[in-house]
Amino acid sequence: MLSAGRSELLLLSGGVDSACIAYIRRPHAALTVDYGQLVAASEIRAAAAICGELGIEHHTLRVDMRALGRGVMCDGVERDQSPTPEWWPYRNQLLISFAAAKAISLGLRAVVIGTVKGDGVHADGTPAFVEAMRTVLALQEGAVRLESPALNVDAAELLRQSRAPLSFAAWTFSCHVAAEPCGSCRGCYKHLATIESVFGLDQGL
């Protein structure tokens, strides 16, 4: 299910999920987008380390979307009307579009995303959304495919399937609010729970 060739671009945030897919698939290239999120520099640093470890060509793209952002990832403020603290309107739709455009510029035929089973807490993490975006890309010039190989597994199962060692998982970064892991946001909670589920307690990542 997760294996593939190298003619693809991975949308790599530097978090556990996309890092596991990088470890399994070894795509030709990966893209990390600085869209104005508070932790952009840390995500780019983690993604660059992951790509360096795996010999993957790493690209970054900076598109300032802070004027369109909301929530703790944008300005550190949680808003009552947001479905989750880290919600950023239309983020995945925009990131997939950027990645597809980058894939075309690199002559690659597919964009791979790290969406996992538990991401359905957001509308843009559901199978319906992924299928809709796959259709949108297919309707446009460029013939770029959208692939979501981990859509039906949770983060811990993906990490198990990857067989990535703890030393590799230590490169990943998932905090939503700080340059160093805060240990209390939803991103840090998920990261710690995933690591502990696979490698045991008290790993200290």
Instruction: Give residue 6's pLDDT.
Output: 78
Q: How far is CA 18 from CA 21, 83, 188, 199, in A?
A: 5, 23, 15, 18
Asked if residue 174 belongs to a domain, the reply is: yes
Contact between 88 and 71 (Cβ < 8 Å):
yes
CATH number of the domain enclosing 186: 3.40.50.620
Q: Is 74 within the bounds of a domain?
A: yes
Instruction: Check residue 119 and give its pLDDT.
Output: 85
In terms of residue numbers, what domain contains 115?
8-199
What secondary structure does DSSP assign to 138-173, as a single string?
HTSTT--EEE-TTTTS-HHHHHHHHT--HHHHTT--
pLDDT of residue 201: 63
At 55 the pLDDT is: 96
- Quick one: pLDDT at residue 80? 67
Q: Is 204 within the bounds of a domain? A: no
159 found inside a domain: yes
Which residues in the chain land under pLDDT 70? 1-5, 80-81, 201-205
The pTM score is 0.91
Question: Does residue 205 fall inside a structural domain?
Answer: no
Quote the number of domains for the chain.
1
The whole-number pLDDT of residue 1 equals 45
